[in-house]
């Protein structure tokens, strides 16, 4: 495992921890899109179907368990926790799951590396992860004031994507036959979705003003 891959995993982990910390300590999920969180839970469920049959390393298995567990925990908090759920911004979080899930599933059926069930679900999870942040970005745009933790959550997620691209470039040059078009293209699309956010995030940080996305 190279440094980019490991740093990418760690920023991914940080994003989840920041979010859980916010929800757990402040007992608030203001500014967090339930739709995005539910899509992530679905992404991990579809991708880690092989968690018991395909052992890669202890690190991999533990990280998979963390991502699965935390994504369902976050969804549970927003939907079920009696205090947290009151802060959920239902009026602005109106993105329809199906608009993202259905096209991704059809695309996975059409474009995949191997048409086995697990392989199609894995491909579906890649496509869905690429666009799962959209409801969150839409919600951020509609929310006037983005609090620091929500901003950091999206920042860490974007950093994770950028580091994974560095990891693929590194692996391409250091490992023989390392070519994964589906992973790369969906990963690139996903990272580009953050570009706009990053621009405003750095600007607000540079000028030391509160993060606000233009409508």
By CB under 8 A, residue 12 contacts other proteins: yes
Among 4, 9, 127, 155, the residue binding other proteins under the rule CB under 8 A is: 9
Among 26, 119, 142, 185, the residue binding other proteins under the rule CB under 8 A is: 119
d(CA 15, CA 44): 15
Structure tokens at 47: 């991708």
The least CB distance from residue 8 to other proteins, in Å, is 9
Among 25, 177, 208, 214, the residue binding other proteins under the rule CB under 8 A is: 177
By CB under 8 A, residue 164 contacts other proteins: yes
Question: Using alpha carbons only, what angle is made at residue 179 by residues 175 and 180, rounded to the nearest 5 degrees?
Answer: 130
In this structure, what are the phi and psi dihedrals at residue 119, rounded to the nearest 5 degrees?
A: -70, -40
Q: Is 54 helix (H, G, I), strand (E, B) or coil?
A: coil
d(CA 7, CA 56): 19
**Closer residue to other proteins (CB): 17 or 63:** 63
Among 12, 32, 10, smallest CA distance to 149 is for 32
The least CB distance from residue 172 to other proteins, in Å, is 13
Buried b or exposed e, range 156-180, using 16+ CB within 10 angstroms = bbbbbbbbbbebbeebeeeeeeeee
By CB under 8 A, residue 122 contacts other proteins: yes
Question: Between residue 46 and residue 75, which ones bind other proteins under the rule CB under 8 A?
Answer: 47, 50, 54, 56, 60, 63-64, 67
Contacts with other proteins by CB under 8 A lie at: 5, 9, 12, 47, 50, 54, 56, 60, 63-64, 67, 113-114, 119, 122, 164, 167, 177, 179-180, 183
């Amino acid at each position: 495992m190279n440094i980019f891959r490991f740093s990418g995993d760690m920023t991914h982990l940080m994003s989840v921890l920041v979010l859980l910390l916010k929800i757990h300590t402040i007992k608030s999920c203001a500014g967090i899109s339930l739709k995005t969180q539910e899509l992530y839970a679905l992404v991990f469920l579809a991708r880690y179907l092989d968690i018991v049959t395909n052992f890669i390393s202890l690190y991999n298995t533990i990280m998979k368990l963390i991502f699965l567990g935390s994504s369902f925990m976050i969804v549970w908090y927003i939907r079920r926790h009696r205090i947290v759920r009151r802060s959920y911004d239902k009026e602005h979080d109106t993105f329809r799951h199906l608009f993202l899930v259905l096209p991704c599933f059809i695309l996975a059926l059409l474009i995949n590396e191997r048409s086995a069930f697990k392989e199609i679900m894995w491909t579906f999870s890649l496509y869905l992860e690429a666009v799962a942040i959209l409801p969150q970005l839409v919600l951020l745009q509609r929310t006037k004031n983005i609090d620091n933790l929500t901003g950091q959550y999206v920042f860490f997620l974007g950093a994770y994507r950028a580091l994974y691209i560095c990891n693929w470039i590194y692996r391409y040059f250091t490992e023989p036959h390392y070519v994964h078009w589906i992973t790369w293209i969906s990963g690139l699309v996903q990272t580009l979705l953050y570009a706009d956010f990053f621009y405003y995030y750095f600007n607000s940080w540079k000028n030391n003003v509160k993060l606000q996305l233009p409508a």
